[in-house]
Amino acid sequence: MRSSGQALAVIAIFLFTSGMSTRPLLVQGSVDEAPRAVSICQAIAGRKNRPQAQPVNGEPVERNHVRFTYVTHSTYFVETAGGVTIATDYNGYIGFRDPPTVATMNKAHSSHWTASPDPAIEYVLTGWNPEGDGPIKHSLVVGDAYVRNVTTDIRSVFSGFEKDGNSIFIFEVAGLCIGHLGHLHHELDDSHIAAIGRLDVVMVPVDGGLTIGHESMSGIVKRLRASVILPMHRRGSSIGSFLNLFGADFAHEFRNSDNLTLSLRTLPDQPTIIVLNGV
């Protein structure tokens, strides 16, 4: 039987913990330290009715919003309300912009990475392990963004596949779960899907050959169940053949602008493939 002092201690602990916030805690750290940041995207959340997403007109990113700008090939320039900028599959070109805070790279082709990134970039994250000893693991908080990765395999120049040669990068910003599939060479199994978690926005290669075929990619998109799908890595193939693989459950839009801004509240009710200008 507990003493009165022990009982009071138990009550005090209960009162303290019951008043704590249940929101995930993001822990600042470096890539090498791989901090144990808590992902909000690996807890599947119910979806509510939301109005349609609206394009931006060049204004600063609003609070709780994220801006996506298509740059070239597989590179999107992602901007947060906190001033963090991310260039995906960065190959050295981002147009007339300041260097990004974070640059992610994959090595399947030279158009997805560079050996000489701008030294002003604070975090250069490779999708492969340069040391060649196991998968690369990224887990870091940069300002108002949490960045992590899930590795996949790539076709080898010589034969077969190179294990963990590509990364799907996930960016958690303003309550949104954002994924970039990189240079994906195979379908995703249950372990990949579980590690990725919920995605609200996903950037997908639609070349139909250098990565994987349109049918396989459309199956991956359907399985990921993102609200917004942003095509990339077109490589001259018809975007129509990719869009035709999606039934009435998916909407699609062609935008005159190369950018749009999204928030958790402005995600479309119906999964929507948005083709930005230049893709």
User: Does residue 269 sit within a domain?
Assistant: yes
Confidence band (pLDDT; 50, 70, 90) for 83? very high
- 150-201 pLDDT, tens digit per residue, is 998 877 777 687 787 789 999 999 999 999 998 886 789 999 999 999 999 9
In a domain, 117, yes or no: yes
Ordered DSSP codes for 15-63: HHHHTS--SPPPPP--TTT---PPPSTTS-------PPPB---SPPPPT
Mean pLDDT of the chain: 79
Structural domain count, the chain:
1
- Does the pLDDT at position 4 exceed 50? no
Quick check: is 9 in a domain? no
33 domain residue, yes or no = yes
Domain membership flag for residue 74: yes
CA distances from residue 268 to 219, 254, 264 in whole angstroms, order as listed:
20, 15, 9
CA–centroid distance for 244 within its chain: 24
Q: Describe the strand order of the beta sheet including 176-180 as a list of residue ranges.
A: 139-142, 145-155, 161-173, 176-180, 201-205, 228-232, 272-275, 251-254
In this structure, how many other beta carbons lie within 10 angstroms of the beta carbon of residue 96?
A: 4
Q: Are 198 and 44 in contact (CB under 8 A)?
A: yes
* 46 in any annotated domain: yes
| DSSP strand pairing (161-173 vs 145-155) | antiparallel
pLDDT for the residue numbered 96: 86
Task: Kindly report the pTM of this predicted structure.
Answer: 0.79
Within a domain: residue 49?
A: yes
- What is the full DSSP assignment across 103-160? EEE--SSGGG--SS--TT-SEEEESS-TT-SS----EEEETTEEEEEEEEEEE-SSSS
**pLDDT value at 222 more than 60:** yes
Q: Is 259 within the bounds of a domain?
A: yes
Domain with 43 in it: what CATH number?
Answer: 3.60.15.10
Structural domain harbouring 148: 24-275
Residue 204, pLDDT > 50, answer yes
